[in-house]
A and B are shown apart, each in its own frame.
Chain A
């Protein structure tokens, strides 16, 4: 076999292997570590609720898919199955309490479960949107 053909085949094989490795890592890339991502916005939970209830499309464009930090006095903590949710309640509606619901990351579930209503908190989570009753901050962590 001629040398140039050997080199071409080797380059082809190398390219194929590199492509396969890149594809494998892309396919299996981990989920973002939401605790370590800086918040794109920090504001009072009450103000976040006001923005969404005033204009959910405008607020959705601004906050959905972003990590958002909220501050405020905790209304309650709900523990159900594997979910621990810190809730800031601002009004009552068709589904009872309405406000900002922060679903905690597994590492923060135990700590959040011990929080008392009225505690001053700063939480950070991934905003999945407003379901016409609550704003959901998923993968939340306690900042302070």
Chain B
């Protein structure tokens, strides 16, 4: 019985310790932007799920494609129907790691440069991604920022021939997430 109590205590302690390092948000922001001589396209998604384990650096974010908002309704329709095919592929997912998480002192406010490596799944295609970013520790929150570009063809996203010259073949993605400790 005594051993059982010790075991339960140890498991609870381990579980608490693990949770104490977990930071999440459900309102992260991802912007994508592309520009060509004739067309500037910008969309925002403010409902990004993201989680970071500050002990291991494991990092994941998930995006619902239909939650991207465009200024123009027609662009939003084309994005969902012709490009990301959101009925068929409703989510985009990044799963990876901050490889130098040990350099981030979550107990001390400041801005830390980080390296992110992982896999991005978009339009049903998974590609390895390696990017730089930053984490700002501020008042117990972790504010993550990263900006990178992807090639649409890497994710098998085809641009119709009629507008091929009006739409950029690369898209710049900006990630801004404010992670709070999971209580």
Q: A and B: partners?
A: yes
Residue of B nearest to A56 (CB): B90
Which B residues, 35 to 73, have Cβ-Cβ distances below 8 Å to chain A?
Answer: 46-47, 49, 51, 62-67, 72-73
Which A residues, 83 to 138, have Cβ-Cβ distances below 8 Å to chain B?
Answer: 83, 85, 94-96, 101, 103, 126, 128-134, 136, 138
Given the complex, which residues of B lie within 8 Å of A101, measured CB to CB? 26, 47
**Residues of A in contact with B, size category:** 20 to 34
Known: A136-B67, A138-B47. A131 touches B91 (CB 8 A): yes
Shortest beta-carbon distance, A53 to chain B, in Å? Answer: 15
Main secondary structure of the interface of A (DSSP, over half): mixed
The yes or no answer to A29 lying at the interface (CB within 8 A) is yes
Interface centre among A27, A29, A96 (most CB of B within 10 A): A96
Shortest beta-carbon distance, B27 to chain A, in Å? Answer: 5
Query: Are the CB atoms of B64 and A129 closer together than 8 Å?
Result: yes
1/0 per position for B148-183, CB-CB distance to A under 8 A?
000000000000000000000000000000000011
Query: Are the CB atoms of A95 and B90 closer together than 8 Å?
Result: no
A80 to B178, CA, bound (A): 11
Given the complex, which residues of B lie within 8 Å of A103, measured CB to CB? 47
Shortest beta-carbon distance, B97 to chain A, in Å? Answer: 16
A83 to B63, CA, bound (A): 16
Query: Are the CB atoms of B91 and A29 closer together than 8 Å?
Result: no
A/B pair count, beta carbons within 8 Å: 76
The yes or no answer to B103 lying at the interface (CB within 8 A) is no
Residue of B nearest to A98 (CB): B26
Query: Are the CB atoms of A129 and B46 closer together than 8 Å?
Result: no
Pick from A27, A30, A95, A131: contact of B24, CB under 8 Å: A95
Pick from A26, A78, A95: contact of B51, CB under 8 Å: A95
Query: Are the CB atoms of B66 and A128 closer together than 8 Å?
Result: yes
Shortest beta-carbon distance, A66 to chain B, in Å? Answer: 11
The yes or no answer to A28 lying at the interface (CB within 8 A) is yes
The yes or no answer to A65 lying at the interface (CB within 8 A) is yes
Q: A27-B72, A31-B76, A65-B86 are in contact. List 15 more A-B contacts (CB 8 A).
A: A29-B72, A29-B74, A65-B87, A78-B27, A81-B46, A95-B24, A95-B182, A96-B183, A128-B65, A128-B66, A129-B67, A129-B86, A132-B62, A132-B91, A136-B47
What are 26 A-to-B residue pairs whose CB atoms are below 8 Å?
Answer: A27-B72, A28-B72, A29-B73, A29-B74, A78-B27, A82-B46, A83-B27, A83-B46, A83-B47, A94-B24, A96-B24, A96-B183, A101-B26, A103-B47, A126-B66, A128-B67, A129-B66, A129-B86, A131-B63, A131-B64, A131-B91, A132-B91, A134-B26, A134-B49, A136-B64, A136-B67
Which are the 9 A-B pairs with shortest beta-carbon distances? A128-B66, A128-B67, A129-B90, A129-B64, A31-B73, A128-B64, A131-B62, A95-B24, A131-B49
